[in-house]
C-alpha cells in the first residue's frame, strides 16, 4: 500500500457525515436515502443477521420488503478509519430495546465521483456474555 494518510481530518469528517446520514435513514426507514448511500453495483454485498445479499438490486429489494418498525437502536461504540481519500471502514456495536444481544455492524465505504457509498456491509448479533 502506498503512503496514504490514515484518518486525514477532512476525509474522516466526510465519512462520519455519510455514516450519520446512513444511521438516520436506517432508524427512520428512509429507504430512498439508504438506497442512495449504497453503491449501485452487482458487486455490492450486504450480509445481514438473517440474509446474504449480493448486488445492489437484491439489497434494494430487501429494504423495500422489510417492515419499517423496530429499527431504532443505540450505538454503543463506533470506530471509523479512513485510508487515503477514497476508502474507509466503519464499525459499530449497538443495542435495541428488548433485545438482550449486542448488534455488530461493519461497513466498507468507497468514494466514487466525490460521493461516499457503502460497498460492503455485515450485520450480526452476539449473545450476551
pLDDT at 83: 98
- All cell numbers assigned to 120: 460492503
Using one digit for the tens of pLDDT, what is the confidence trace for 8-36? Answer: 999 999 999 999 999 999 999 999 999 99
What's 86's domain CATH number? 3.10.450.50
Length of the chain: 129
pLDDT at 1: 57
Domain count within the chain: 1
Please state, in angstroms and rounded to a whole number, the distance separating the CA atoms of residues 75 and 114. Answer: 27
Mean pLDDT for 44-68 is 95
Please state, in angstroms and rounded to a whole number, the distance separating the CA atoms of residues 90 and 97. Answer: 23
Residue 61 and residue 22 in contact, taking contact as beta carbons nearer than 8 Å = no
| Helix (H) or strand (E) segment spanning residue 72 | none
**Structural domain of 36:** 9-126
Place 4 in a pLDDT band, splitting at 50, 70 and 90: confident
Residue 107 lies in a domain: yes
Residue 1 lies in a domain: no
Q: pTM (2 decimals)?
A: 0.94
Amino acid at each position: 500500500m502506498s503512503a496514504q494518510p490514515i484518518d486525514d481530518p477532512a476525509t474522516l469528517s466526510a465519512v462520519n457525515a455519510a455514516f450519520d446520514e446512513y444511521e438516520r435513514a436506517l432508524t427512520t426507514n428512509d429507504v430512498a436515502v439508504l438506497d442512495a448511500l449504497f453503491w449501485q453495483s452487482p458487486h455490492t454485498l450486504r450480509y445481514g443477521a438473517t440474509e446474504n445479499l449480493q448486488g445492489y438490486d437484491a439489497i434494494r429489494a430487501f429494504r423495500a420488503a422489510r417492515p419499517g418498525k423496530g429499527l431504532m437502536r443505540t450505538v454503543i461504540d463506533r470506530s471509523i478509519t479512513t485510508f487515503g481519500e477514497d476508502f474507509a471502514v466503519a464499525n459499530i456495536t449497538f443495542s435495541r430495546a428488548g433485545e438482550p444481544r449486542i448488534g455488530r455492524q461493519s461497513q466498507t465505504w468507497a468514494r466514487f465521483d466525490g460521493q461516499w457509498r457503502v460497498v460492503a456491509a455485515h450485520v450480526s448479533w452476539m449473545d450476551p456474555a
